[in-house]
Amino acid sequence: MRDFHVSNQEPHYILQAEGLYHVYESSALDGNVVALRGLHVKVRPGEAVAVVGPSGSGKSTLLKCLGGLMKPSAGDVSFQGLQINRLTGQDLVRLRQETVSFIFQDANLLPDLNALDNVAQPLRHRGVSVATSRRKAQSLLDKLGMGDRSNGMPAQLSGGEQQRVAIARALITNPKLILADEPTGALDPITSREVLSLFAKLHEEEDVAFLLVTHSREVASFADRSLELREGRFIAQHGNDVDIADLSSTRALIIDETGTLTLPPEILTQLGGPGRFDIDAEGDNLTISRADERDPDDDITPVNLTLAAECPACKHVYTDEAQECPSCGSSRPMVPA
């Protein structure tokens, strides 16, 4: 097994990506699809970062490239200063196992194994004994409130229970970073909050770093920092330690062969994000102004959220931290604080 190549990336970042591009080749009339357009990503040890954006913005492609599940068309990815781009086979598997774990929208549990053996499986792949693997798996399930369900088969578990098993499986290798793709997308609102609360506890008490991709403001509000992704580019950044250099490597106006105009990210941010604009041309000068207000349903900028004081369905006024309305049974929504 060959030695890992040490890159010149800054080692104090647990994850660092520079200039990521990814192109999906297609024989369709529309041609190839550019999913990622020169992205830069940095995650510090113990930091929680969210990548937010609508469906089709490139979030899942980005996560797969960052986790080594897909090779980008161009750009570099490093784990703790070690480049993964040129690694293949067992070298890449070993580096991933020692650094990162994945959590997906669907728990992706092995259907023929019970919860305990699903959690133990990553250690078994490393050659750890059955007894040791199961003992650590049981300890994690106990910690996540699933100890009495360790013999349950995936089909017998609820969505929230399956996701807890998936989280335990992700934690059993003591990862330094968890990459999560819409981790609460298949869960109901109450179970989703329970999972986010668990993430927050792991983040604070175990110093686990997270990079989550999501279209949910509630999920993004868990993170220390969030990057807003649109059509393969970061157009805005919110939270702590915001660095405008992460948004794009270019400040040029780009007009492609179809006449589509791409604005520098900081200008698009000043204009209020994507939308419909009027462009007045006079000589060499262009004047750009927003033609309509941005659809509020399209706004996924993270904000501080809190439980609603009143049920929107029956107007019951809450006096405690209940997650369900005692009058009509509706899930209690989260609203901006």
Chain segment 64-78, per-residue pLDDT in tens: 999 888 888 999 998
Separation CA 85–CA 90 (nearest Å): 14
- Domain contains 119: yes
* Average pLDDT over the chain, rounded to an integer: 79
- Domain contains 78: yes
How many domains does the chain fold into? 1
pLDDT bucket at 9, cuts 50 / 70 / 90: very low
- Domain contains 296: no
Nearest of 202, 163, 165 to residue 185 by alpha carbon: 163
Q: What is the pLDDT of residue 134?
A: 95
| Count of residues in the chain | 337
> What is the four-CA torsion angle of 18, 21, 22, 25, rounded to 10 degrees?
-150
pLDDT bucket at 114, cuts 50 / 70 / 90: very high
- Domain contains 30: yes
Q: What is the mean pLDDT of residues 111-130?
A: 93
Q: Is the dihedral of CA 298, 299, 301, 307 positive or negative?
A: negative
- Domain contains 328: no
* Percent residues over pLDDT 70 in the chain: 78
Residue appearing with tokens 């669907």: 106
CATH of the domain at 45: 3.40.50.300
Out of 92-101, 200-209, 262-271, which region has the weakest mean confidence (pLDDT)? Answer: 262-271
Separation CA 309–CA 1 (nearest Å): 59
**pTM above the 0.85 mark?**
no
Out of 131-145, 192-206, 244-258, 322-336, which region has the weakest mean confidence (pLDDT)? Answer: 244-258
- Domain contains 111: yes
Q: What is the pLDDT of residue 97?
A: 73
Task: Tell me: pLDDT of 117 over 90.
Answer: yes
**DSSP H or E stretch at residue 305:** strand 305-307
Q: What is the pLDDT of residue 183?
A: 84
Cβ 253 vs Cβ 263: under 8 Å: yes
Q: What is the mean pLDDT of residues 205-222?
A: 84
- Domain contains 46: yes
Q: What is the pLDDT of residue 211?
A: 93
pLDDT bucket at 4, cuts 50 / 70 / 90: very low
**Residue 168 is part of which domain span?**
15-228
- Domain contains 48: yes
Q: What is the pLDDT of residue 53?
A: 84
Task: Tell me: pLDDT of 44 over 70.
Answer: yes
